[in-house]
Amino acid sequence: MAKVEIYTKAWCGYCARAKSLLESKGVAFEEYDITMGGPRRDEMLDRANGGTTVPQIFIDGAHIGGSDDMAALNRAGKLDPMLGL
């Protein structure tokens, strides 16, 4: 199964939606809470080419974007192969 990383903030509806989609597929993920900023936020900015919104999602190190981007991949049938399902 692919390694999934997701940068989130507290009270973020898009973050909850993205995590729910992954959980519905039985996919484990590493969550990095950047609510208070810090080094993980800087890391996200570097990895996401300056993307400042959350969530920012990575599958096997590849940046796929946010919740809407992941949902679009799912609708197109492209997410499961990326996740190794």
Q: For the chain, give every domain's residue range.
A: 4-83
Average pLDDT, stretch 50-55?
Answer: 93
CATH 3.40.30.10 fits 4-83, yes or no: yes
Task: Say if residue 80's pLDDT is above 90.
Answer: yes
Q: What is the pLDDT of residue 1?
A: 86
DSSP SS3 for 77: coil
Name the DSSP letter for residue 26.
T
Predicted local distance difference test score (pLDDT) of residue 50: 84
pLDDT tens-place string over residues 2-30: 999 999 999 999 999 999 999 999 999 99
What CA–CA distance (Å, rounded) separates 59 from 46? 16
Query: pTM of the entire structure?
Result: 0.95
